[in-house]
Amino acid sequence: MTTGRELGKTRLPHWAAGFVVLTCFAILGLSGWREWETRNTELRNAEIDVANLAHSLVQHADDTFELVDTVLIGLVHRLEIDGTGPDTIAKLQAYLPTRKSSDRIRGIFVYDATGRWLATTEHVDFSKLNNSDREYFQHHRDSQDKGTLIGRPVKSRAGGQWIITASRRINDADGGFAGVALLTIDVSYFVKFYERFDIGQNGSASLLNTSGIMLARSRDESGAFVGRDLSSTPLFKGWDSRPAAAVYYFKSPLDGVQRLSYYQRSTRYPLMALASKSQDDVLAPWRRAAAMRTTFVVGLVLLIAVIGSHLVRQLMQRQRMAQALVAKEANFRLLAEQSSDMVTRIGLDNRLLYVSPSCVRITGWSADELLATSALAGIHADDMERVEQAIAALKNGEAEEARFVYRQRHRDKGEVWVEAALHVTLASDSGEIDGVVAVVRDMTEQKDLQDKLASLATTDGLTGLANRRAFDERLAEEWARARRDGTQLSLLLIDVDHFKKFNDHYGHLAGDGCLRALGRILSAQARRPADLVARYGGEEFAVLLPNTGPEGCAEVGEGIRQALHDLAMLHAQNPPSRLVTASVGAATSLPSQNTTDSSTLVAASDRALYAAKDSGRDRLVMSGQVVPWPAKSA
């Protein structure tokens, strides 16, 4: 039968291969996550840049139209007071150039109620020009609104260039329509201003009105995009429900470039600025760097995979060699036993018919002294029944061979452990069973070694307490006993509070000392022979209390906690006490015929332990106890 350790050795190459694969995937996964985070960081930085740019564009537009508005208000006020007679117009024609700002205001115009030009800063013959067909003129003629109207971009009749118009209605003394005062701004003025900003090769800065009409756009000296109606684009759909400023990702309907942008509405005028960068331009440096990093990571993963596959092949080769060595050892084992171990022939009456000279080493008696004596002489009383049954089964034909270990009396050593390998013998004439051949060897040293190994296998090396394996075995035994006897079984789970911080602060040697000190406290508190103290794992310990009810369990748990307090071991990272403390979870069960699984007791104690931690640590919580949870911070 294959043991767990042998099975583990058999599967070691598969585990190693799995570990290599897991490592490779972990590296690739972490690398992919890191690149994704870096990409998102680049986009967030670009969002901040376009947001700042949009704020600047809106501020510039507000300042520009505020200047225009101021000039218009003064001009209209003067015309409404002085009228539009020839003398006033003559003075106005001389006055207008003084109000023109060369870098912002392109031209100033005054039209009468019929659309005829009365005065302008443009050096053109306007005697036959009429603007009554313009949209802004018709708006003022038909509307009593005296506010400034920022109109759609139009081509100037004076210069032929694209301009943005700002106009106000002029009333006569009776409040009737007397004409329009108009200021124009070259679209190129905004285009040149936008060229000052570095927004990438495919970036753009745009000024639009809130109806979705493009007023100006960077890199548009020819005016190809001016006046475009974008009101049907996703940005302007549901415009009223959108915030006044926000990040906006879109595919531009003008040039098809995927952009990240930030739009900002003006709080004073029906305008908005849209600053955008090409998403490809933003991510281009990241893509180049990511390609280099990914190449390095893939190369590293391939190297790990190659080295790992080589190691797995080496493990498999060594495993095959080890199996071959075991087979060879089995072939030579019988010869070694026959030359050094005691060989006997036992008759049907259990008398020794033959004894090899090795009997002196095995039993202390010579072959002559043992011949004709009972083969069962000297066997320990506790092992006698088992040995008799094995020999009887062989003689009755129920088995052909048997192997067992028992205690044998030695003349000088008192008592030794021996192993016997038995095989039936057949009579040459009848072929019937006529006895048993036994090969006996001294197993005392091996038995002592096995006992030591068994002790090591069930003992924690740091604290000297029982380990997890011993705890699991003992828990199963005590659970079965409690269910059979109808008694209660209790379990304490103890976890050192903030032990990782203790280790980080004081070092691992101090941490080991802390665990050993806690182990001594546990051993002192669990005093009964049947009690078991075990290191459950890491900084967690378990105390198994057979035939103990909830009161006794709570008493032992509280004693452990208090003893740890009395030890007063400093732990600066464990406020408020600044001492080493422990959280204790406890549970008591009365196993019945229907509860066959001891894991319920462990689960109950574990839940109680987590309740103790979540409710503030440094306390004992019994399973089923109502625990006040700490209030959440405001």
Report whether pLDDT(227) > 90: no
How far from the centroid of its chain's Cα atoms is residue 69's Cα?
58
Distance CA 8, CA 192 (A): 76
Residues 166 and 292 in one domain: yes
Residues 185 and 296 in one domain: yes
How many domains does the chain contain in total? 3
* Mean of pLDDT over the chain: 84
Asked whether residue 92 is assigned to any structural domain, the reply reads yes
- pTM attached to this predicted model: 0.48
Domain finish residue from 303, 332, 364:
303
Domain finish residue from 407, 426, 450:
450
Report whether pLDDT(555) > 90: yes
| Cα→Cα distances 427→76, 409, 424, Å | 140, 31, 10
Q: Which two tokens stand for residue 128?
A: 């036959």
Residues 297 and 392 in one domain: no
Asked whether residue 319 is assigned to any structural domain, the reply reads no
Q: Which range, 283-287, 430-434, 606-610, has the best average confidence (pLDDT)?
A: 606-610
Domain finish residue from 450, 472, 497:
450
- Give the strand pairing for 582-589 and 620-622: parallel
Residues 240 and 345 in one domain: no
pLDDT tens by residue, 76-100: 888 888 887 787 777 777 767 666 6
The answer to whether 556 and 545 have CB atoms below 8 angstroms apart is yes
Asked whether residue 170 is assigned to any structural domain, the reply reads yes
Residues 616 and 468 in one domain: yes
Residues 407 and 552 in one domain: no
pLDDT tens by residue, 466-492: 899 989 999 999 999 999 888 999 999
Q: Which two tokens stand for residue 542?
A: 């378990």
Distance CA 180, CA 173 (A): 15
Asked whether residue 210 is assigned to any structural domain, the reply reads yes
Residues 81 and 49 in one domain: yes
Asked whether residue 314 is assigned to any structural domain, the reply reads no
- The dihedral formed by the CA atoms of 394, 395, 400 and 405, expressed in degrees to the nearest 10: 30
pLDDT band for position 540 (50/70/90)?
A: very high
Report whether pLDDT(429) > 70: no
Residues 433 and 467 in one domain: no
- Give the strand pairing for 214-217 and 204-209: antiparallel
pLDDT band for position 631 (50/70/90)?
A: very low
Distance CA 413, CA 112 (A): 137
Q: Kindly report the CATH number assigned to the domain that includes residue 381.
A: 3.30.450.20
pLDDT tens by residue, 293-347: 889 989 998 998 899 888 888 888 887 876 765 665 444 334 434 546 788 888 8
Asked whether residue 332 is assigned to any structural domain, the reply reads no
pLDDT band for position 459 (50/70/90)?
A: confident
Residues 445 and 533 in one domain: no
pLDDT band for position 401 (50/70/90)?
A: confident
Residues 434 and 465 in one domain: no
Bond prior to 576 in cis (omega within 30° of 0): yes
Residues 413 and 512 in one domain: no
pLDDT band for position 594 (50/70/90)?
A: low
Asked whether residue 199 is assigned to any structural domain, the reply reads yes
Q: Note the pLDDT of residue 563.
A: 93
Q: Kindly report the CATH number assigned to the domain that includes residue 547.
A: 3.30.70.270
Q: Note the pLDDT of residue 11.
A: 76
Structural domain span for residue 519 = 458-622
Looking at per-residue pLDDT, the higher value among 441 and 206 belongs to 206
Asked whether residue 333 is assigned to any structural domain, the reply reads no
Residues 445 and 466 in one domain: no
